[in-house]
Chain A
């Protein structure tokens, strides 16, 4: 007996079902909001993005990148060749041999996937994902044997005659299983969905600027006019309020848990797990419950009770708002995600709904926002007291000088005694280097960072516009600030409001600016002799703005060899102070700042150099004994060779 007609039929069926599934899946994504994306250009660019952008991230894990290249590459090639050889029945030994080769490649890759899954780390999901390597092996193995006759290794009649029905049945079972997982499962929601959704996600990513080594970290502004539109809603209430390509992005998740492994809130036992969050979004967009989720839960929350649907309010049944408020917006997850999924965008989108529609920002959130609205600073201090810290500093005011080379953006650190020490140190350095600078004084307002991260985009936009209006009155070529959060807003988020106040203006973090002063020889420094120093990368300077080198170079210029923490640079662990997290203060089992201090302690450092007043506050909040915490500006001031002081010293002796 012969089943020759069976295999093409099976393949055709599987492919047809895959196409139906694909159409269905696309419909689910298209239920989201429109976004302006050049579809054709995206599709054209997709293979390149896969090979470079995505692969660069996967490459951080050499084992996985090789495994994936073999398995994925082998599969794509095999699938194409299977269609030619087995579906269309093209009789070519060359094609058959090529297919055998690609199947072998896939098989070997699948063996490595299998090996990794023998003792999987806790971050990766189990469940159907444990089946995947076996399905891959079944697919590759089944088709391999099936292809042998076409390659001329076995005679055509071999199957039918020698081993008869049994082998045919086994082979058929294998390819049904394999194709079920790899063709059907790809579009009907199995683990292989990541290949289909992932490829399209790369093509239609909401932040196209990220590809080709670019960086795109500024949050997108909310269209506030939606507030008064019929049926309009601010932020994301239901899955369908996301942009369609955000939904597509969620679907691309491979549940590798790389994000979970780096999330400070997860490690602190707060009820957030970025992987679960993305999976819950998938539950939301497709409808159903999280009962099938087979990864780590939100700490302290049992899996299986979340219910959602495309048109159901997410925070009513699918997600606990506490999950959203636990995030420090540190972007560690986004940085690690091999699928380039944008967790922070999604989290802030949902916070926007909670704050701007529900008025339910937790804990001190409402008070802080009220203060920002009424006094332009989060603590409700009198706006006219913003420059009190500098009463003895004799700072040139922009209102008076109207023009300066450098505008020093002071930030709300002006109101905080600890931060004032950093500001003073920086001013001293500016003066020592004879920089032509001025400040806005009381005309400066809160940058809007906290308001925006807390979901109050209305207040952020209001502050941004008013700040821009002030800035547009004066002439300067550079803005420098000691606050990475203000830095990020000014540099990446103020450009969306149609103002030309920052056109041609360079925005610098003070470490970058000071480093250039030192390189130009405008600051003379004594070598530092004070024991071991480690450096903590602020999220908003590092991951948000890619500045890892300047602070380190500055430290080197004082002869400091930074004793790096295990997690540093783009992998730096958040101090816990971002995203309004200290304001919303969601309880966990540990404090993020304590964990960061442990990282620092492991280096044996006596001093932690930082570049952010928020990090300073968080790290200094850790109980002693612990290393000292100093902003780089403060360390520099200590080593500053002051020509006038030297002169004095000589006179004395």
Chain B
């Protein structure tokens, strides 16, 4: 075996965390998906506590970070940057430098932009694969990770992905452990001040509280309890859709645009 054969015990895992926002009170907290990402990181690094680095780009004095620390982290690394700056570039650099094998993030942030784009932008920048909506990382062997991706209705898809990669963690992943006050107070904030370009696009935006997306009304045709149960649990059979695998990318994109226009999303 090579000295660094990329087994679980000597992996370098980095979990990216953002500042969460409680849906009912709007109060700062650890973000649900991000804290699941920390949980998964802690589980993966159970044999090798130094193998996990929790990284945040923003304000090191942010109290929300402490609730991640309360999960038993000795330190949180913070790239301190201007609130208006774009975090992608410095995060990408940091990840490259740190020699990360697995990068864990939430699917989307609970505050700020919340576009869910960050993991993709990082993957693009680093040229790494990204696996979205991961429920669990089962094993890592010879530089290949076996990953369970969360699908709707509790279904899972097993994937194999070569290290290094980025995984965005779904709410189907194991819940985060309790955050304890003592360790939260004690954890060190390891700060690196970084310069980054201002996110000029965002500056022109207005921020508003997100509203629940309206749901399409479902006409329930089921007559019996058994039918209703089936309707509630069975995998949704997409109707009228098209699977486009072989077509040219332009054609695929056009199909998406057409659908959006048809649905009235684009006008």
Chain A residues near B (Cβ < 8 Å) = 224, 227-228, 233-234, 355-361, 365-366, 369-370, 373-376, 380-383, 456, 458-459
Please tell me if the beta carbons of B185 and A228 are within 8 angstroms of each other in the complex: yes
Q: Flag B9-52 by CB within 8 Å of A: 1 or 0 each.
A: 00000000000001011010100000000000000000000000
Please tell me if the beta carbons of B70 and A359 are within 8 angstroms of each other in the complex: yes
Measured CA separation A292–B182 after assembly (Å): 36
Q: What are 27 A-B pairs with beta-carbon distances under 8 A?
A: A224-B181, A224-B185, A227-B182, A227-B186, A234-B181, A355-B180, A356-B180, A356-B181, A356-B182, A359-B70, A359-B178, A359-B179, A359-B180, A359-B183, A360-B178, A361-B178, A365-B178, A366-B178, A370-B178, A374-B24, A374-B27, A380-B24, A382-B24, A383-B24, A456-B181, A458-B181, A459-B181
Measured CA separation A369–B25 after assembly (Å): 15
Measured CA separation A115–B185 after assembly (Å): 58
B72 at the A interface (CB under 8 A)? yes
Q: Flag B158-195 by CB within 8 Å of A: 1 or 0 each.
A: 00000000000000000001111111011000000000
Beyond A227-B186, A359-B70, whether A382 also contacts B25 by CB under 8 A is yes
How many interface residues does chain B have, given as a range?
Answer: 10 to 19
B71 at the A interface (CB under 8 A)? yes
Q: Tell me which residues across on chain A come within 8 A of B177, comparing CB atoms.
A: 359, 366
Please tell me if the beta carbons of A374 and B25 are within 8 angstroms of each other in the complex: yes
List 4 A-B pairs, minimum CB-CB distance, nearest first.
A359-B180, A359-B178, A366-B178, A227-B185
Measured CA separation A456–B178 after assembly (Å): 12
Q: Smallest Cβ distance from B32 to chain A, in angstroms?
A: 10
Q: Tell me which residues across on chain A come within 8 A of B179, comparing CB atoms.
A: 359, 370
In the complex, the chain A residue whose C-beta lies closest to that of B185 is A227
Q: Smallest Cβ distance from B91 to chain A, in angstroms?
A: 27
Please tell me if the beta carbons of B186 and A369 are within 8 angstroms of each other in the complex: no
Q: Flag B65-76 by CB within 8 Å of A: 1 or 0 each.
A: 000001110000
Please tell me if the beta carbons of A234 and B29 are within 8 angstroms of each other in the complex: no
Q: Tell me which residues across on chain A come within 8 A of B29, comparing CB atoms.
A: 370, 373-374
Measured CA separation A383–B22 after assembly (Å): 11
Q: Tell me which residues across on chain A come within 8 A of B186, comparing CB atoms.
A: 227-228
Measured CA separation A480–B70 after assembly (Å): 37
Measured CA separation A361–B178 after assembly (Å): 8
Please tell me if the beta carbons of A375 and B185 are within 8 angstroms of each other in the complex: no
Please tell me if the beta carbons of B181 and A227 are within 8 angstroms of each other in the complex: yes
Please tell me if the beta carbons of A375 and B27 are within 8 angstroms of each other in the complex: yes
In the complex, the chain A residue whose C-beta lies closest to that of B180 is A359
Q: Tell me which residues across on chain B come within 8 A of A233, comparing CB atoms.
A: 182
Select one of B22, B180, B183 contacting A374, CB under 8 A. B22
In the complex, the chain B residue whose C-beta lies closest to that of A373 is B29
Q: Smallest Cβ distance from B52 to chain A, in angstroms?
A: 17
Q: Tell me which residues across on chain A come within 8 A of B181, comparing CB atoms.
A: 224, 227, 234, 355-356, 456, 458-459
Q: Counting chain B CB atoms within 10 Å of each CB, which of A374, A380, A456 scores highest?
A: A374
Q: Tell me which residues across on chain B come within 8 A of A227, comparing CB atoms.
A: 181-182, 185-186
Measured CA separation A106–B158 after assembly (Å): 80
Q: Tell me which residues across on chain A come within 8 A of B70, comparing CB atoms.
A: 359
Please tell me if the beta carbons of A381 and B24 are within 8 angstroms of each other in the complex: yes
Q: Counting chain A CB atoms within 10 Å of each CB, which of B27, B29, B70, B178 scores highest?
A: B178
Measured CA separation A382–B25 after assembly (Å): 6
Please tell me if the beta carbons of B71 and A359 are within 8 angstroms of each other in the complex: yes
Q: Smallest Cβ distance from A564 to chain B, in angstroms?
A: 42
Measured CA separation A12–B135 after assembly (Å): 75
